[in-house]
Structure 1
Amino acid sequence: MRIAVSGTHRTGKSTLVDELSDLLPAYVTVDEPYHQLEEEGHAFAETPSVEDFEAQLARSIANLDEAPADVVFDRCPVDFIGYLLAHEDRDAFDIEAWLPRVRGALRKLDLIVLVGIERPDRISLSASGDEEPRLAVDEALKELLLEDPHAFEVEVLEVEGSPRARAKQVLAHLADASR
């Protein structure tokens, strides 16, 4: 199966990917596009620009095109649409131009695991003033994935709890899907 773990920053996505990697040893994991691009020398602005998020969106689409059958992705194209829709320069982002490519890429996924912000928040936050954008992205992702206004038509599993509990929810979902 092709699984993507999605959510705003600092919700435990990468931790869940690590848990799933331990529990699904036959699966390949794909690091998030930000880290891939950074390793290749992409210089991100301190506060990522629309162009930075579009570069990550394009890489996420390419990752889906190139990946093997049994894989867990840290992020998917919808993550970057969420960030772009919550961005202060969102008017510079033409979602309609991206939708055909995003829909095509998402058809290659079997499941998106949505890791949202929980109440109380499981991740301790710094006093960086980052909370408002983080909440805006979380809200955008929940709308994009759970309400599906752009007809992405991909199965979504929203998880909560400790990292191990989240991983068990994914494994239970996979077991149910294989029946």
Structure 2
Amino acid sequence: MRIAFTGSHRVGKTTLAEEIAESLPDHEFIIEPYLQLEEEGYLFSEIPTLEDYIEQFNFSVELLQNSDDKVIFDRCPLDLLAYIYAVGKKKNISALYEEMTTAIDEIDLLVFVPIEKVDVIFCQGFDLPNLRQKVNDILEEWIGDFSNEILEVSGTLEDRKKQVLDKLTNMKK
């Protein structure tokens, strides 16, 4: 099963994805493109630019296209395109949206981790809270456009983990 986590930054997405990876040891855990590119020597701007997000998007699409069947993605092309859209409003993203949609079709379960109404994770000024909210709003608008199994999680880490594991159990039936 291919599972991808999507959401803005500082919502608990990575922590949840790592917890699920521990519960599914037969699945490969793929860290987010930012960290992989950084390990490969890509130099990001202190505050990521449109070009930085496009690089991550392309890398994410490639990761998805070249992955096995049992994999957990800490981030996927959907959220990276939301960042591209949020920082580059004047950029025509229709071709990228189409590419993202094709890539997303390969995902069996898309787990959306939104900003909670009572925000459970403190976001400081250097965490770009306005960008975080913009990306969250874009994802909330786009998430219903896909035919994938989609799960929006909420609550504590344990609540979220249970929601994902219950969904996976129900999907196997």
Category of TM-score, reference length = shorter chain: over 0.9
How far apart are 1:143 and its partner, in Å? 0.8
- Local SS of the residue matching 2:126: coil
How far apart are 1:111 and its partner, in Å? 1.0
Q: Distance in 2 between matches of 1:59 and 1:66?
A: 11
Q: State the Cα deviation string for residues 4-45 of structure 1 (Å, max 9, x = none).
A: 011000000110011101111111100000001111111111
What is the TM-score when the length of structure 1 is the normalising length?
Answer: 0.91
Change in 2 beyond 3 A, CA 1:157/1:44: same
In structure 2, the residue matched to 1:169 is: 163
Q: Distance in 2 between matches of 1:119 and 1:90?
A: 25
Q: Which amino acid aligns with 1:173?
A: K
Q: Distance in 2 between matches of 1:129 and 1:23?
A: 30
In structure 2, the residue matched to 1:59 is: 59
List runs of 5+ in structure 2 lacking aligned partners.
Answer: none
**Matched residues, percent identical?**
39
- Local SS of the residue matching 2:55: helix
Q: Distance in 2 between matches of 1:128 and 1:62?
A: 30
**Is the contact made by 2:27 and 2:70 (CA closer than 8 Å) also made in structure 1?**
yes
Residue 117 of structure 1 pairs with residue 115 of structure 2: yes
How far apart are 1:154 and its partner, in Å? 2.3
What is the TM-score when the length of structure 2 is the normalising length?
Answer: 0.94
State the aligned residue count: 173
**Is the contact made by 1:26 and 1:70 (CA closer than 8 Å) also made in structure 2?**
yes
How far apart are 1:178 and its partner, in Å? 1.3
Q: Distance in 1 between matches of 2:63 and 2:126?
A: 31
In structure 1, the residue matched to 2:72 is: 72
Q: Distance in 2 between matches of 1:109 and 1:10?
A: 23
- Local SS of the residue matching 2:112: strand
Change in 2 beyond 3 A, CA 1:163/1:96: same
In structure 2, the residue matched to 1:154 is: 148
Q: State the Cα deviation string for residues 99-127 of structure 1 (Å, max 9, x = none).
A: 33212211111011000101221112224
